[in-house]
Amino acid sequence: MSRSMLALRGVGVSFGGVQVLDHVDLDVGEGEIRGIIGPNGAGKTTLLNVICGIHPPDIGQVVLDGDLVTGLKPSKIARRGIGRTFQTSQLFKGMSVLENLMCGLHRRTVTGLVGAGLGLPSCREEEERTEEAARLALEFVGMSQFADRPGHQLSFGQQRVVEIARTLISEPKVVLLDEPAVGLSLNRLSEFDLLLRRIRDDKGVTLLLIEHVIRLVMDVCDEVTVLNSGRIIADGKPDVVRNDPSVVEAYLGKELRARHSAS
Amino acid sequence: MDILRRRNVMAALLCVALFLPVAANPYQLFVANLIFIYVLLSVGLNLLLGYAGQLAFANAAMFGIGAYGTGLIQVHFGWPFLVAFPLGALIATAVGLTLALPALRLSGLYLALSTLAFAQFTQWVFLHWEGVTFGAGGFKTPQVSFAPLPVDQRHGLYYLSLGIVVAMVWFARNLVTSRIGRAFITVRDSEVAAESLGVDLLRYKALAFGLSAFYAGIAGGLYSQMLNFVSPEGYDLFQMVLQKAMVVVGGLGSIAGSVLGAGTIVLVLELLREFKGAQEVVFGALLLVFIIFMRGGIISVIKRHIPGWEEPLHRAPTRPEADPPAASPLTPPAQERGAS
């Protein structure tokens, strides 16, 4: 396996006595596309929230590219190079698509209050570079024609793609995608496969995605991790995981599993 | 319609303002100066409310702290206005910055309530800390002298206010087309997404509160000096409603809107001064009409009908090579825009 890019060591989180994540260990290699699947309530989104700092873990560690990031503020963790998208669209409604993308470069720009307010040359220059980068990122995801549209005028699926572009623009090490394929029609799904692969291959970004669309997970992921009730119950290549009896049981229940293996 | 572009309209307003003292009587000059002060207040409040999306009710208190700070430093220490004025604004800014701390935990109505409580507390201090603030009766401030310049207080203060307004509106315009202004909007539209892009919530909330308090503090210093009098009731809840009304009528999230909103509200209030009682009725009706029928304020109507008023949130790139063809006599600009 390649160098570890993102690792969780013995992560545990409980909300009011309910153990949401229980001693989770995870190792994602550089340039890997890792899928996280599991039934509703398995703790998938909590896992992402732990990684990006929204819920610091009760115990355990999060290691990004060799650096411990446990307990840092979400904005600090983002600055270290973890981008993410959310289950619901979090496009900034009051901005155009282009401006949304420009926000993605926030962590890589430095203009301060005075420079911005006085419109100093350094600020103008940075602003031009930001816009250039935003246009390139839009081109990368094939949405240049929407640059000047207000974000909320896009379809749900398009908004998700813009959000992905917004995280890519700052050249993150890892991007966490929370159900990115929700709202995509079936024929756009294969385009989406391609996009995820291009993100990995052209941008060198490690991807961690939660997904319910099993087809997408099986097609695009190098490794799949299955969570159930806060525990990892299987971990490995997609086709190995697919036939793992404990996975089938988690999804279908015991009785159905018997029928499943009988048929 | 090209002549009505924002740049031209603002330049025309500035020309009127520059030469107004030649023609205007003292009352008209007073009203114009009042507009300058309210432009500062509404632009500052809009940065906090319209851009950063923080529903705070302490702007009138910051206005008061600026006014009291400037006045009291002159009265108690005998320092000149030109020293006391920036100090007053800095005190307001410092207090404003501390308000960002509750804003980190509270949002929406809860933030509104806690900042309202804070505003009432400042009222209480103005009223009851009599040894320092002179209580309910207020106090007089000395006339300011612009000594080497051959101007009296009225004209000196008028041009000082005008200069400050132009500079601070320009500053705000630059700010909202930069990464800082966009960061404000990320905080307003989605805090989780803002953080996921590396925007530090505390930093940007503090910046928004500090900036709006600074604008209000500067306005307070000018206001106290214009009246040569400071008393608690100038900075009460009605003052807060007035400022909110300007921002709403002008348009949330628009600097040009704030300028127009402040001008409109001050003029309406002054025109109705003769009809006692009508002031409040019309003012209330105006607010209702705008909230129900024109959510985006005056500026949204202008943006819809007149080109050249758009306010992008990034600095439009300067493309000198693209300009000459548009300006050439073969393609008159009027034709390009003829359709709209």
When scoring B51, B197, B299, B300 by the number of chain A Cβ atoms within 10 A, the one with the most, hence best to mutate, is B197
Specify the 3-state DSSP secondary structure of B277. Answer: coil
Residues in chain B: 340
- pLDDT interval class at B333 (50, 70, 90): very low
Average pLDDT over residues B161-166: 97
Q: Residues A186, A222: one domain?
A: yes
Nearest to B59 by CA among B73, B70, B72, B46: B46
Tens of pLDDT along A143-197? Answer: 999 999 998 899 888 999 999 999 999 999 999 999 998 877 777 888 898 999 9
Check residue B232 and give its pLDDT. 94
Tens of pLDDT along A41-97? Answer: 899 999 999 999 999 999 999 999 999 999 899 999 999 999 999 999 899 988 999
Burial of A186 (0-12, 13-18, 19+ CB in 10 A): exposed
Domain span at A127: 94-153
What chain B holds in terms of domains, given with CATH numbers, is 2-316 (1.10.3470)
Q: Residues A111, A198: one domain?
A: no
Contact between chains at B179 and A106 (C-beta distance less than 8 A): yes
State the smallest CA–CA distance between residue B246 and chain A in angstroms. Answer: 20
Q: Is residue A158 part of a domain?
A: no
Q: Residues A204, A82: one domain?
A: yes
Instruction: Count up the domains in chain A and report the number.
Output: 2
| DSSP code string of A205-238 | -EEEEE-S-HHHHHHH-SEEEEEETTEEEEEE-H
- Beta-carbon neighbour count of residue A166 at 10 Å? 29
Q: Is residue A64 part of a domain?
A: yes
Distance CA A250, CA B279 (A): 69
On the question of pLDDT at B339 being above 50, the answer is: no
Contact between chains at B195 and A75 (C-beta distance less than 8 A): yes
The DSSP output letter for A147 is T
CB A217 within 8 A of CB A211: yes
Average pLDDT over residues B64-87: 95
Tens of pLDDT along B280-331? Answer: 788 888 888 888 888 889 999 999 998 889 888 998 765 544 444 433 333 3
Higher pLDDT among residues B68 and B279, named by residue: B68
pTM: 0.90
Mean pLDDT of chain A: 90
Using alpha carbons only, give the angle A249, A255, A256 rounded to the nearest 5 degrees.
Answer: 65
Distance CA B142, CA B76 (A): 11
CATH code assigned at A224: 3.40.50.300
Q: Residue A18: enclosing H or E segment and its boundaries? A: strand A18-29
Distance CA A103, CA A112 (A): 15
Quickly list H helices, chain A.
Answer: 44-51, 74-80, 97-104, 113-118, 121-140, 156-168, 186-203, 214-220, 238-242, 245-252, 254-262
- A151: amino acid identity, one letter: G
Q: Residues A188, A234: one domain?
A: yes
What are the residues whose beta carbons fall under 8 Å from the beta carbon of A93, sequence distance 6 or more? A150, A151, A152, B189
Q: Residues A11, A129: one domain?
A: no
The tally of CA atoms less than 13 A away on the side-chain side of residue B332 is 5
Q: Which of A153, A186, A203 is the last residue of a domain?
A: A153
Tens of pLDDT along A140-155? Answer: 999 999 999 998 899 8
CB B39 within 8 A of CB B258: yes
Check residue A263 and give its pLDDT. 54
Higher pLDDT among residues A217 and B65, named by residue: B65
Distance CA B100, CA B208 (A): 8
Q: Residue B127: enclosing H or E segment and its boundaries? A: helix B108-128
Q: Which long-range contacts (CB under 8 A, 24 or more apart) does B233-238 make?
A: B234/B64, B234/B67, B235/B60, B235/B61, B235/B63, B235/B64, B235/B67, B235/B122, B235/B123, B235/B126, B236/B60, B236/B123, B237/B60, B237/B119, B237/B120
Q: Which of A214-218, A239-243, A258-262, B182-186 has the highest mean pLDDT?
A: B182-186
Q: Residues A257, A182: one domain?
A: yes
- Residue A123 phi, psi dihedral angles, 5° rounding: -65, -45
Q: Is residue A39 part of a domain?
A: yes
Q: Is residue A125 part of a domain?
A: yes
Q: Residue B186: enclosing H or E segment and its boundaries? A: helix B179-189
Which residue in chain A has the smallest CA separation from B252?
A: A94
CB B185 within 8 A of CB A92: yes
Q: Residues A254, A171: one domain?
A: yes
Give the 3-state secondary structure percentages of chain B, helix then strand then coil, rounded to 5.
75, 0, 20
Check residue B328 and give its pLDDT. 39
Q: Is residue A34 part of a domain?
A: yes
Check residue B46 and give its pLDDT. 97
Residues in chain B whose Cβ is within 8 Å of chain A: 171-172, 174-175, 177-183, 185-186, 188-190, 192-201, 207, 211, 253, 312-315, 317
Higher pLDDT among residues B44 and B318, named by residue: B44
A83 touches chain B (CB under 8 A): yes
Distance CA B56, CA B114 (A): 8
Please state, in angstroms and as integers, the Cα–Cα distance from residue A246 to each residue in A225, A251, A258, following that order. 12, 9, 12
Which residue in chain A has the smallest CA separation from B184?
A: A103
**CB < 8 Å to A114, chain B:** none
Distance CA B107, CA B120 (A): 19
A256 touches chain B (CB under 8 A): no
Reported ipTM: 0.91
Distance CA B222, CA B215 (A): 11
Using alpha carbons only, give the angle B249, B256, B254 rounded to the nearest 5 degrees.
Answer: 70
Distance CA B156, CA A87 (A): 58
> Of A98, A103, A117, which is closest to B186 when you measure between CB atoms?
A103
Average pLDDT over residues A205-221: 91
A125 touches chain B (CB under 8 A): no
Tens of pLDDT along B232-290? Answer: 999 988 899 899 999 999 999 999 999 999 999 999 989 888 887 787 788 888 888 88
Share of chain B above pLDDT 90, in %: 67
Q: Residues A241, A124: one domain?
A: no
Q: Residues A81, A102: one domain?
A: no
On the question of pLDDT at A106 being above 70, the answer is: yes
Average pLDDT over residues A243-249: 85
Q: Which long-range contacts (CB under 8 A, 24 or more apart) does A69-73 make?
A: A73/B195, A73/B200
- Read off the tokens for A43: 């703790």
User: Would you say the C-alpha torsion B37, B40, B43, B46 has a positive or negative sign?
Assistant: negative
Distance CA A28, CA A36 (A): 11
Contact between chains at B197 and A104 (C-beta distance less than 8 A): yes
**CB < 8 Å to B314, chain A:** 98-99, 102, 127, 130-131
Please state, in angstroms and as integers, the Cα–Cα distance from residue B20 to each residue in B8, B12, B219, B266, following that order. 18, 12, 20, 17
- Read off the tokens for B53: 């999306």
Give bridge partners of residue A59 from the DSSP assignment: A12
Please state, in angstroms and as integers, the Cα–Cα distance from residue B107 to each residue in A2, B42, B111, following that order. 44, 21, 5
Please state, in angstroms and as integers, the Cα–Cα distance from residue A129 to each residue in A110, A132, A135, B104, B269, following that order. 12, 5, 10, 32, 46
Average pLDDT over residues A1-9: 87
Range with the lowest mean pLDDT among B39-53, B166-180, B197-211, B292-306? B292-306
Please state, in angstroms and as integers, the Cα–Cα distance from residue A186 to each residue in A69, A141, A224, B7, following that order. 37, 18, 22, 49
Q: Is residue A251 part of a domain?
A: yes
For chain A, positions 190-229, list CB contacts with chain B under 8 A.
Answer: none
Q: Residues A67, A114: one domain?
A: no
Q: Residues A181, A81: one domain?
A: yes
Which residue in chain A has the smallest CA separation from B194?
A: A75
The DSSP output letter for B273 is G
Q: Is residue A159 part of a domain?
A: no
Q: Which of A134, A153, A172 is the last residue of a domain?
A: A153
Average pLDDT over residues B186-205: 95
Check residue B340 and give its pLDDT. 35
Q: Which of A133, A153, A173 is the last residue of a domain?
A: A153
Q: Residues A54, A130: one domain?
A: no
